[in-house]
Amino acid sequence: MTEVVCNDHLGKKVHVKCNTDDTTGDLKKLIAAQTGTCLNKIVLKKWYMVFMDHVSLGDYEIHDGMNLELYYQ
């Protein structure tokens, strides 16, 4: 079980617990459930790399305590 921190730089910071074999789309579903935003509007980035929905967190090497940038379309 890993905990990922997503920050939208607007004052909202979300702590999400998930597994490393979960996909980025699953992570977006958990973020949408906690924040109340629409799933289709969430974009996860790290620097300039946009995370695709079908790739697992382990493939992106997202580990426990890692910070991701949360953007809205």
How far is it, in rounded angstroms, from Cα 61 to Cα 73?
25
Q: What confidence score (pLDDT) does residue 46 get? A: 94
pLDDT band at 31 (very low <50, low <70, confident <90, very high): very high
pTM > 0.75: yes or no: yes
Q: What is the DSSP string of 12-50?
A: -EEEEEE-TTSBHHHHHHHHHHHH---GGGEEEEETTEE
What CATH number belongs to 2-72? 3.10.20.90
Task: Determine the pLDDT at residue 59.
Answer: 96
41 and 55 Cβ atoms separated by less than 8 Å: no
- What are the domain boundaries of the chain? 2-72
